[in-house]
A = this chain, B = another copy of it.
C-alpha cells in the first residue's frame, strides 16, 4: 500500500482578547472539526497579539509548512483590525480595495446608514485575493494563495467555513471511537501501549476525568481506515474486559 498523503493546516488566532483571557476562544475547536471533515489535519495553532510584525512573522512561519493556513480575527472596521495589512506585509504585496467586497458592503449597509470610510476598510484585501462568502454580515472572508482569512466572531467564522466546505483538496478524515471506563489510566497504561502497538495505523489517546468523586478515563482510538479503527477498538474493549475493567461509552 502506498503511503497515505496527509494534508495539514495551521491556524493563526489573532487577538489580544484571547491572550488576555478576557475571551474564551471557540475557533480552534470549530476549525479543527471542520478541517477534519474536509480530510485535512489541524497540525499547529498559534495565538498572537494585535501587532503587525508578530502577525506577519507567524504567517510566514506557518504558510510554508502546511497545505493551508487559516486565520481568525482582526478583519473588522476598527483601528485594532490589522490582519489584512499584516498578511499583505508578510506576502510582500500591496493592500487593494476588492470591487466585489465594496459592492457587497454597499448593499449590506444601504439600509443601515450607508458605507463609511471605516466600513470600507472591510473591502481591503491583499492584492490577488478572492473573497469568501459571508451571508451573515456583508463583510467577506478572504482567500489569498493558501491562506484563508476568517472573522474572529465564532458564528461568522462558521458561515465562512460553510461557504468553503467541499472546496479544499484533502485526504481521508481521521475517524475516532471512544471507550470510557471508570478505571485509573495508570492501571491500564501497559495494556493501552500494547494494543496501540498491535494495530499499526492507529493511535490511542488516554484522557483522564473525575466524576462524582471517581477517577476514570476516555480512551480515544483514531485511524483513517475504518476497518483498522474497528479492529483496534474491539481489541481494546476486549482486553479491558479480560483485565476485569468495565467498559462503557464515552463519559462526557
Contacts and interface: CB of A to CB of B under 8 A. Distances in A.
A205 B33 contact: no
Contacts of A204: 79-80
Contacts of A196: 79
A113 to B, nearest CB: 7
Copies in the complex: 2
Interface stretch (A23-31, A85-93, A142-150): A23-31
A98 interface: no
B76 A208 contact: yes
Given A49-B43, A189-B118, A36 B21 contact: yes
A206 B209 CA distance: 37
A119 interface: yes
Interface string A92-131: 0000000000000000000011001111011000000000
Nearest to A105: B186
A196 B187 CA distance: 57
A36 to B, nearest CB: 7
A184 B112 contact: yes
Contact of A207 (B23, B46, B190, B192): B23
Nearest to A44: B48
Interface of A: 13, 16-26, 28-33, 36, 41-50, 54, 76-80, 112-113, 116-119, 121-122, 153, 155, 174, 176, 184-187, 189-190, 192-193, 196, 203-210, 220, 222
